[in-house]
Structure 1
């Protein structure tokens, strides 16, 4: 089960890195992408990512419950799951309200540039914490596997 947990943790990590730190920042630089279109794409992508993350987190939690790893791997998994729950239950609803307001206005006094909200920075900061937690969990799981 530790091999399964490690594989899922690294898959989860790769998804977060690809979406949050590659796709999200680049999306608004693509030709023809408006604020409204970018926000719509972002909502769809992050809703899908979070849904997949919930499935991956559930499988990882079941795997480490069935075959408990060392304390460091367990702490990393617990931290990643706690961060994900905070993002979904606390931060994403605030981001949705903010993007609803921006989309309803359809114009921005800053000439098309929409200032990022505190919720956006909170989500990004939590992504960094989640990446660190997943990296710690994955490495600790790999070490536990190697130790036998």
Structure 2
């Protein structure tokens, strides 16, 4: 359970730092154009998503080994399902739009960003609930 708890809180910290701090701030930095910000964002989110996938696997393995209560399994499952939805449904749409912008096209704003922010917020809540449940177990 200690590994699951550590992974959960490290994952939470990374999501908070990157999605809610670094991402909005990068576009306010002097000299950072939209294409440069998108290029940086793609690299950062590719790395974050790889780390999140590893965290999800470690969390799943740790929970299978520990056989925790539903109070832990349910929110942990929600976290993993949100990540899968982001990677399978939202991220491809965001990538398609950023490809167009990076190619010099004046692409319209994407509603996928709103979906991403909503899912990212839900993931933060689910990670907090999972972490608290793990600490209480």
CA distance in 1, matches of 2:61, 2:81: 15
TM superposition score normalised by structure 1: 0.89
CA distance in 1, matches of 2:109, 2:75: 29
Aligned Cα root-mean-square deviation (Å): 1.2
Q: Are residue 130 (structure 1) and residue 128 (structure 2) matched?
A: no
Q: List alignment gaps of at least 5 residues for structure 2.
A: none
Q: Are residue 105 (structure 1) and residue 98 (structure 2) matched?
A: no
Residue equivalent to 1:95: 94
Q: List alignment gaps of at least 5 residues for structure 1.
A: 109-113
Matched position secondary structure for 1:32: coil
- Alpha-carbon offset, residue 115 of structure 1: 6.0
Which of the pair has more CA radius of gyration?
A: 1
Residue equivalent to 1:54: 53
Trace 1:67-86 onto structure 2 (pairs within 5 A). Answer: 67-86=66-85
The total of aligned residue pairs comes to: 137
Where in structure 1 do 4 or more consecutive aligned residues deviate above 6 Å?
A: none
TM superposition score normalised by structure 2: 0.96
